[in-house]
Amino acid sequence: MSRSRFASVFVALALSLAALTAAAAEAQTTLGVRGGVSVASASFDTDTFDESNRTGFVGGVFLDFGGSSLFGFQVGAQYSQKGAEFDAGETVDELSLDYLEIPAVLKVGLPLGALKPSIFAGAALGFNTGCEGVGGEDCADDVTSTDFSGVVGADLAIYLGGLSLWADARYNVGLSDIPDGEAFTDFRNRAFNLTAGIGFRLGG
C-alpha cells in the first residue's frame, strides 16, 4: 500500500470515529479486557515454500461505545502473535512476528435485552515488537516497524448490570507488505482471532 493511500484510509477512519463519538456520547461505554487464540498465516508470493498456520496468543484491552444503541464503535490495544510456518521439503521453519496492535472498528448491533450481537469492520495499526526467523535468528531488520491491516468480524455482548461478558471473532487481513530487506518478499500478514473477555461499565 502506498503512503498516500495509507494516509487516506487512516484519515477517513479517524473522521468516522470522531463523528460517531458525538452520536454515542449518551450511550453506554464499556472498558474491558480479553484474550484468546490467534491463528496466523501469510500471503506469500513464492513457489519455494508450502505455508501453514502459526497458532499463538492475542489479548489486550478495549473500549466499547454503544451499549443498547444500534450503532457504535470500539477501539483497543492488544498484543498479537502472527507469522507462519514454512515447509521447504526437508525442514519446517517458523517465522514468528509479535505486534502491539491498535484496532478501531465501526459496529452495527441488534440490542436484544441483555444480549447484543454485532458485526463490525475497521482497521488496525500494528507496531512490530519482535521477529524470529529461520533457526531462531533475530529478523527485526528484515521487517517493517509497522503493519496496517483491515479487520472484519462479529461479537456478542452479554450485559449483566455494570458487568458484561464478551465473545469476539475477527479476521485480520494485511494491507501492507512487511518485508524491509532481501530475506523474503511480498509477505502480508493474515490472522483469525477468537477471544473472550469481561467488561466494566463506565459512568452512570
Which domains does the chain possess?
Answer: 3-202 (2.40.160.20)
Per-position b or e across 14-51, b if 16+ CB within 10 A of its CB: eeebeebeeebeebbbbebbbeebbbbbbebeeeebeb
Q: Residue 144, exposed/middle/buried by CB under 10 A (0-12, 13-18, 19+)?
A: middle
Q: Which amino acid type is present at position 85?
A: E
Q: How far apart are CA 55 and CA 76, in angstroms?
A: 21
pLDDT of 77 = 96
- Chunked into runs of 10 residues, the chain (204 residues) has average pLDDT values of 52 54 64 95 59 84 90 95 71 78 96 95 95 76 88 97 96 86 70 97 79
